[in-house]
Amino acid sequence: MSYVLLILGLALWVLAHLFKRIAPERRARMGDGGKGLVAAGVLGGVVLMVIGYRGTGFVNLWYPPAFLVHVNNLLMLLAIFVFGMSATTGRLRGVMRHPQLTAVKIWAVAHLLVNGDLASVILFGGLLLWAVAEVILINRSEDWVRPERGEPKGDVKLVIITLVVFAVVTGIHAWLGVWPFPR
């Protein structure tokens, strides 16, 4: 049953995010009320994915080598930094078109490198495929206007915030019983 919840959560996440791209007229007719529906779909998807993922039995597909933990941690630091580029006011603002979706792709690959079980492949692989599809659909449907670059002090703030968020994320992993560093 847990795999069903995991897959349903992933499907709900994907459909809620792609709703605007799949049915733009219908989404536009919903107005601001549609934002609540999409948010509920995303939140419901996250809840189902977490419950499903945590409840699955361990089905190993491969044994990742121990050194990949270091690669994962570097990629996670990069993913947090890239995600933050979407909100920076610094010189890096507008360097890439889809920093949040790029960060999701980096995050998913990092987690696939260190998790060789079936539930992880479904979850992280599914979110990776979603992020790739989302970028393709956005690029086909919207023109991008590159934002103006800001001051370098914004990039310094981004580095500091990245390190703080990385520390918080690793703390949450440790609290949940998943130690993110080699022992």
DSSP assignment of 102-121: HHHHHHHHHHHHH--BHHHH
141-156 per-position pLDDT tens digit? 888 888 888 888 989 9
Judge whether residue 182 has pLDDT over 90: no
HSE, side-chain direction, 13 A CA sphere, residue 8: 10
pTM, whole model, 2 decimals?
A: 0.90
- The domain locations on the chain are 1-57, 58-183
Tell me the C-alpha distance between 119 and 55, whole Å. 10
Cβ neighbourhood burial of 158 (10 Å; 0-12, 13-18, 19+): buried
pLDDT at 143: 86
Q: What is the mean pLDDT of residues 107-126?
A: 97
